[in-house]
Structure 1
Amino acid sequence: MAGRGGSTPATYSPSPATQNKKKKAPIFTDSDWVRPDTRGFTQCRPAFFRTGAVNAASGSAYAEIGDTKVIVSVFGPRESKKAMMYSDIGRLNCNVSYTTFATPVRGQGSDNKEFSSMLHKALEGAIILDSFPKTTVDVFALVLESGGSDLPVVISCASVALADAGIMMYDLVASVSVSCLGKNLIIDPVLEEESYQDGSLMISSMPSRDEVTQLTITGEWSAAKIHEAMTLCLDACSKLGKIMRSCLKEAALASQE
């Protein structure tokens, strides 16, 4: 592995104006309950990105957000292997898999078809597919360590890898999730928090265009809670997008030296 560009880990949080200023009840009966990593409910984990993680790929990126570690390789555009009629737009293939040591239960590494499909949906709207007709771009994401909020990290890392590969996009795609635990919303949950959640909401967006490419909700939510969670996620996506863009700028400057 070789790194072309990276940035120091930076934590980020939604703007104070988007946070609920009322004192929220604790998730559990223990009034002194704090998050496993002592973050505030609306504070995201430190985020680190580095491009050029895989030399053999057209583009690649490594992301480390908290204990979640992901590496993404992009190959193409290359001529599609499948027999198909001429198309004015390119094809995007996505695959998400886990190493055998990524999760606490050893030997559980495998392809994740659900995550692969969701990664495709999150990225497809951001890629200018008609810029590479009759060809295919393959995105391979590998979760090295599962520390919670795995899919949002995969999506964000894949977006940086696509940019590193020179794939034309309308904007980078940043992704953040929120878990609902009791009456509380906690952003960028870790694995332990996800295991206790009553519901989750994940947004993938193009920050500079203020457009959502994917919204996923599980569990029961009130309209007010959905609005609050979406506001938190979108603001966090905007800040995460700046960290991702900074990584790409550093890589570009390093390549010119």
Structure 2
Amino acid sequence: MAGKPGTTPTTYSPSPTTQKTRRPIFNENDVDWVRPDGRGFHQCRPAFFRTGAVNAASGSAYAEFGNTKVIVSVFGPRESKKAMMYSDIGRLNCSVSYTTFATPVRGQGSEHKDFSSMLHKSLEGAIILETFPKTTVDVFALVLESGGSDLPVVISCASLALADAGILMHDLVASVSLSCLGKNLVIDPILEEESYQDGALLITCMPSRYEVTQLTVTGEWSTPKINEGMQLCLDACSKLAKIMRSCLKEATSTSQE
């Protein structure tokens, strides 16, 4: 509920920085390149969140970032089938899957095991597992439409769904990715930009604690450029978390009315 249909969604772009305008990776003769969706290099897509999207779940959330649409359902805490093995702390299970119509190539919807593992790593450090011993919390994320930066949207949406389910956490978890296109750093890339990237960086953090729960880097990066990219992502994560908290506050106030 950080935004309502028909209203302008809230953005979470990092602090303004000097933007480069050259796009050597697409067309070296094009010196006036703008991103396919018209954003600046360091400008994130508008973010829309809504909690309570799945009535049957303990908690749920829906997220929409441009053409990327994700829904996450949380079930539990409920009795674990491996209770004897997990007597002191709770167990977190995560699953990320795509619908058959999520990508341009139809019929490829399936569970994404790498994303499931990365979602688990991103959330595990934020959840206070000691508060639900011998029980399990299951997180099911479904990508309805893949529009780029899918995993960061899944992670942020899952964190909101956990909060909606009343799962105790140290802080909300926000995630933002960035692509390196030639000499340019492009934050919150869409599918077309990801297909041309020379490198990618994904940060997941607990903004209030300024603590990174996961950092993934691919491609070749210089030290100055990776430091710049990390700071851009951390700045954007902090602003994204404010939108997520606003969504929770609106949901709470609505339920009390």
Report the TM-score when normalising by structure 2: 0.95
Matched, 1:26 2:14: no
Structure 2: distance between partners of 1:26 and 1:99 = 33
| C-alpha distance in 1 between matches for 2:116 and 2:235 | 25
Q: Which residue of 2 aligns with 1:55?
A: 55
1:179 aligned residue: 179
Distance 1:240 1:6 in 2: 10
Q: Which residue matches 1:152?
A: 152
CA shift at 1:26, angstroms?
A: 2.5
Change (3 A) 1:15 1:86: closer
SS at structure 1 position matched to 2:179: strand
* Alpha-carbon distance between aligned partners in 2 of 1:87 and 1:220, rounded to the nearest angstrom: 43
| Equivalent residue letter for 1:108 | Q
In 2: Cα distance, 1:59 partner to 1:83 partner: 22
Contact persistence 2:74–2:162 (CA under 8 A): yes
Alignment-derived partner of residue 254 in structure 1: 254
Q: Match for 2:22: what amino acid? A: A
TM score, norm. by length of structure 1: 0.95
Q: What are the Cα deviations for residues 81-127 of structure 1, in whole angstroms up to 9, with x where unaligned?
A: 23633521100000000000000000000000000000000000000
Query: Can you give the 5+ residue segments of structure 1 that lack an aligned partner in the other structure?
Result: none
Q: Please give the residue correspondences for 1:98-247 in structure 2 after superposition, counting only pairs within 5 Å.
A: 98-247=98-247
Aligned to 1:81: 81
**Within the alignment, does 1:36 sit opposite 2:36 as a pair?**
yes
Q: 1:76 to 1:104 in 2, by over 3 A?
A: same
1:7 pairs with 2:6: no
**Paired letter, 2:23:** P
- 1:13-43 Cα shifts (integer Å, max 9, x gaps): 1112xx3x37453243111211000100000
Distance in 1 between residues matched to 2:89 and 2:132, nearest whole Å: 6
Amino acid in structure 2 at the alignment position of 1:122: S
Q: Distance in 2 between matches of 1:24 and 1:7?
A: 31
CA distance in structure 1 between the aligned counterparts of 2:43 and 2:206, rounded to whole angstroms:
21
SS of residue in 1 equivalent to 2:121:
helix
**SS of corresponding position for 1:114:** helix
Which amino acid letter does the alignment assign opposite residue 13 of structure 1? S
Residue in structure 1 matched with residue 91 of structure 2 by the alignment: 91
Which string of whole-angstrom CA distances, capped at 9 and with x for unpartnered residues, describes residues 48-105 of structure 1? 0000000000000000011100000000000002363352110000000000000000
CA distance in 2 between counterparts of 1:73 and 1:156 reads 13
Q: Distance in 2 between matches of 1:87 and 1:35?
A: 51
For residues 55 and 253 of structure 1, what CA distance do their matches in structure 2 show? 18
The one-letter amino acid paired with 1:179 is S
Aligned residue for 2:45? 45
The alignment's C-alpha RMSD in Å is 1.2
